[in-house]
Amino acid sequence: MMSQADSITPEQVRLVRSVSRTLARTTDLDALLLQIANATREMLACERSSIFLHDSKAGEFWTKIALDSPEIRVPEKTGIVGAAFWSNQVIDVPDPYADTRFNPANDQRTGFRTRNILAAPVADTDGRPLGVIQAINKKAGIFGEEDRSLIELLADQAGVAIQRNRYMVEAVKAAAMAKEMDLARLVQQAMIPKHPPVIPGLMAAGWTKAASVTGGDVFDLWPTKDGRMGIFLGDASGHGLAPTLVVSQVRTLVRTLSDMDPDPVKILTRINSRMAGDLEAGRFITAFLGFLSSDGDLNYCSAGHGPIVVRDSRNQPLRLLDPALPPLGVLDEMPEECVMPLKLEEGGSLIVLSDGIFEARDRSGEMFGIELVLKFLEEHRALSPQQMIDALYSDVRAWQGQDDPIDDQTIVLVTPLCSPFSAPAENI
């Protein structure tokens, strides 16, 4: 795993941004996968790259893209490709001819000599493998840990492209916009965690409700590689399919980049660099990203998303934190900011809401307001995170007089465990 941000060279960053930009602008699967394969060859400094898709009906893998090679088809239960696909793990083979899983038939047919292989599963948003991306023959030595991180990043991009293409094909077959929107909703729902991560010392819950079939809000709670809880909430301007795709892409990039260098400011700054060139004028994404340890240390950053509500400890009052950075996609370059970490003691809490909560309007047009939100949180401070969210949504729904909001509504609440919350983490 890459431990430093500068482990990725400027040229590699440029290639990743180029792939992401193409992913946002085109639905041509062949063009997308070809660009990803070329990026793999350049970023990993290898001789060849291939992207295999799984054909369950034929029981085989076949090369959708194969650089400098004829089409390859292999039985689904064999080879390095099969090992990566069925294990759903990156497979590093430094000496293929000494590995019994390697089939030299293609080398014998073409005269090419395979010296080493790095293969990564290409999966959908639920983690189900769709195919395999493969790098062949590192030009200098063998593949290393940085190569593993890079190929996983490219595999994520390929997974988004393939899954989106499959949903679009289904939508075309259905010949109805309603069907396409429903598929987009399923993609978005697949990105919402069904349960919060179980991390000792922490309790969390989250909830979201879209203003239409699909929404521009998404949240995520996940365990990081260093044992902390990752916390993300993104809100793309607008409603419908386009904001859904944008905010879902941001969520995917957040997850991937956090494995490489879990620094919230650096991650949001990198994502902004791509979004600034991709989004139409007037479009933007507000985002909160934090990493909370079991002992209450919170490293966080907000790009235009606020206010953030914090209670430092059980007997402290609530306070509001302003965002340190502007929304994603507004400026070409983010200002350099240093965000000081926080310490949440027992009984403290972090509450992140989208504006659809406090901007909910009653029938006369009056907003619920942040003051009512804070009053509610104070009066119900003894509730667990899930109970707090359920009760707040009930109040907001009563205020607006209807179930469906006029703007997407999302809330995430995380607290260090203390005596009133002795139960394990609740379902979302």
Give me the pLDDT at residue 274, please: 82
pLDDT digits (tens, 9 = 90+) for 293-316: 999 999 999 999 988 999 999 889
Quick one: pLDDT band at residue 187, thresholds 50, 70, 90? low
Q: What is the pTM of this model?
A: 0.58
* 110-113: Cβ within 8 A, 24+ apart: 110/69, 110/70, 112/48, 112/69
For the chain, which domains are there? 5-170 (3.30.450.40), 190-421 (3.60.40.10)
CA distances to 14, 205, 242, 352 from 280, rounded to whole Å, are: 20, 33, 11, 27
In the chain, the percentage of residues whose pLDDT exceeds 90 is 45
The Cβ-side half-sphere exposure at 14, using a 13 Å CA radius, reads 4
- pLDDT value at 5 more than 60: no
Q: DSSP for 279-309, please give it.
A: SPTT--EEEEEEEE-TTSEEEEEEEB--PEE
Tell me the C-alpha distance between 230 and 214, whole Å: 24
Please check the confidence at residue 27 and state whether its pLDDT lies above 60. yes
**What is the CB-side half-sphere exposure of residue 292 using CA atoms within 13 A?**
32
Share of the chain above pLDDT 70, in %: 87
To the nearest whole number, what is the mean pLDDT of the chain?
A: 85
Over range 70-97, report the average pLDDT. 93
Give the three-state DSSP class for 177. helix
Work out the number of other CB atoms within 10 angstroms of the CB of residue 300: 22
pLDDT tier for residue 426 given thresholds of 50, 70 and 90: very low
Number of H helices, E strands in the chain: 11, 16
- Which of 3-7, 68-72, 198-202: highest mean pLDDT? 198-202
Q: Please determine, for residue 331, whether its predicted confidence score (pLDDT) is greater than 70.
A: yes
Q: 395 vs 206, 401, 405, CA distance in Å?
A: 16, 10, 13
Q: How many CB atoms lie within 10 A of CB 246?
A: 25
Model confidence at 421, pLDDT cuts 50, 70, 90, reads: very low
Q: What is the DSSP letter of 421?
A: G
Mean pLDDT calculated for residue range 348-354:
94
Weakest mean pLDDT among 37-51, 156-170, 361-375: 156-170
Q: Which residues pair with 320 in a beta bridge?
A: 309
pLDDT at 82: 94
Q: Report the C-alpha gap between 292 and 417 in whole angstroms.
A: 13
Going by pLDDT thresholds of 50, 70 and 90, the confidence category of residue 422 is very low
| Burial of 420: CB neighbours in 10 Å, binned 0-12, 13-18, 19+ | middle
pLDDT tens-place string over residues 277-298: 777 777 889 999 999 999 999 9
